[in-house]
Structure 1
């Protein structure tokens, strides 16, 4: 492993998911989010093009990012507070915000862009708490560890979001330019198949 980039991935203590072997495109390391106590709480892995962060690009990137959130109860945060128990809504919120951050409207002025992003993040959290609303989320079956699994799916202006459950974890996916239909997830056994960020 690249010692400058990958130590946090080596410290992950829960199953991490990425697209399965049917994905023939590029794979890259995303991010690792940790609590104040230093415990990893969320991991993302990317597939396809590195997000351009320019939705107005005439040739926007094609990518899928997979979010893995471990199943954990309510617990101490390490700074005197508490972290809520994780749930599918946790993965949905991370995926929804991730899509916004990777696909924000470049043509909007800086001040308006900040207001837009703040408002859209609030919407993403609101949607994450309403996963059972069939008008907002539709069922979509994907293969997870070789087993057909129904996830919740919604389209957004700049891409799509999926959320569901995997063995010992909750998963969220977001993407653009790649159809979510027919994708499959599998536990990642070796991060060496994933390139360093932007590498």
Structure 2
């Protein structure tokens, strides 16, 4: 958990220094306190009902990538697979999901990599009086740009074909498939958490 908070803090500070509109961290960065990881960020007034245009959002992702290419910090590689593996371990290794994970891992494309947002969909952007502001960089990793394009393309707020046309990415079908497995594992983790929370009540 601390690693995710550290990533979000470092990437956000870097982008802010380059004039990219982001939710800016406050203070010295994430700290451990009473068994928790805590960080602080500026409050941003925004329109929670914002629904972006698909092509415009794809262009926003491309522009963000242009800045992230200069990020000098350390980021994990194969980020989504690491998160999927963590969920599979938590869940006791369900065979269907393990097989899907192994099959996708074996087909991992050899493509150029760079710093990515890691979860680049419209719910991680806030529309403010000064325009859209990026948020939630805790899943940043070093990978092919297709992952972020897939995150946008699979959003229920956007049209997949329009996103793909506005920001063509190599092996996009693969990244969408991996993103779908990631979503299944994420939901499994949520279900496990909710079940364990109910048991404690």
TM-score for both structures, normalised by structure 1? 0.24
**TM-score scaled by structure 2?**
0.23
Give the number of the structure whose residues are more often strand, by fraction: 1
Give the structure with higher Rg (CA): 2
